[in-house]
Amino acid sequence: MNFEKPSIETLKTFIQKELKDESFEDKLIRPSEGIIVEPIYQDLENNKVNLERNTDYFTYFENFKIQGNFEIINQEILSALEQGTGGVILEFEEKEIILQEDFEKLFHQIRLDYIFTVFKYLNPSSLNTFQNYLSVLKYEVPQNQLIFDTFTIKNEHFYELSCQIINQIRKEKQTLIEIELNGDFYWDLCKSRAFKILIDNYTKLNDFPLNYLIVAKTSSQNPHQEKVNMLIQHTTEAISGFVSATDGIIIPPIQTENINFDRRMARNIFHLLHEESYLSLVDDASNGSYFIENYTYQIAKKIHSTKI
């Protein structure tokens, strides 16, 4: 016996009959402003995307402010690398001129060909000095591990910034894109997936290499929130970053009097999810979930339609 597949309208009519006086529209899931996820599974084969990371492994990035004492910062970076950090973000003072001897102190005993190194606010003169420093090294550093362009997608302007960055990505430059998380688990997860789908499609259409890393960044510390709760929130946010096919995670340390301890606690979140939960072993762990695929698709459509 052949059964005719009912239409969505037929199913909605049946559901409304069961709901009686309650409104079907009121039962729809509205995970974020302007987006509705239908409760009825529909064929999304045309919207299915198998996401893959742009790197061979999921990377933990740690941020370091470069303010003068290069020997001390060098020791902090070495300690972080020994404890599992795979990428360092170096935040320079934009007007400060960095000499070659400063780079020698900063990268003493650090192999730049083994880690991702991100340079923020490095002025042209210091960049030229760094290129000279590279030329005297006894090993070659792959260009895709040196990153000089960075973008941040702040949560409150997600759609506008996502659209701008997709249009600004360049063929010749390796770029780091930080997506700020805010603790809304499914929003954090699906917005990262949606952005990655769009930028991957954009680069393929324009025959660009995948010369960018997409990194999830957990939220900044809330001064009114207890530190234990912040650790729990950072862990939840980090999980969404792990399973959304991003290339890495940044977990800013909670600011207390002991910065070394705070950095260690932030790293421990990464180690729990990476070494014990194995969340980084699957490129797109949420693939196959109707809710996540539908929510991702709705966000991607909204980014695509955003005017800048």
Segment 94-109, tens digit of pLDDT: 889 999 999 999 999 9
Confidence of residue 288 (pLDDT cuts 50, 70, 90): confident
pLDDT at residue 48 in the model: 63
Bigger pLDDT: 142 vs 206: 142
Of the listed ranges 6-20, 26-40, 59-73, 291-305, the least confidently predicted one is 26-40
Three-state SS string across 159-204, please? HHHHHHHHHHCCCCCCEEEEEECCCCHHHHHHHHHHHHHHHHHHHH
How high is the mean pLDDT of the chain? 88
pLDDT at residue 26 in the model: 78
Mean pLDDT of 18-41: 78
| 46 pLDDT higher than 60 | no
pLDDT at residue 36 in the model: 80
Q: Scan for tokens 């805010």, then name that residue.
A: 182
Mean pLDDT of 218-235: 82
Instruction: Provide the percentage of residues in the chain whose pLDDT is more than 70.
Output: 94
Mean pLDDT of 231-260: 90
End-to-end, the C-alpha distance of the chain in Å comes to: 54
Mean pLDDT of 262-274: 93
Which residues are CB-contacts of 252 (< 8 A; sequence separation ≥ 6)?
63, 217, 218, 220, 221, 266
Q: What secondary structure letter does DSSP report for 44?
A: -
pLDDT at residue 168 in the model: 83
Where does residue 202 fall: left (phi above 0), alpha (psi -120 to 50 degrees), or beta otherwise? alpha
Burial of 165-184, coded b for 16+ CB within 10 Å and e otherwise, reads: bbeebeeeebbbbbbbbbbb
Segment 152-169, tens digit of pLDDT: 999 989 999 999 998 888
Of the listed ranges 49-58, 91-100, 141-150, the least confidently predicted one is 49-58
Cα distances from 265 to residues 91, 175, 198, 271, 282, in angstroms, run 21, 28, 34, 10, 24
Q: Model's pTM, two decimal places?
A: 0.88
Q: Indicate the fold that domain 59-305 takes in CATH.
A: TIM Barrel (3.20.20)
> Phi/psi at 201 (nearest 5 deg)?
-65, -40
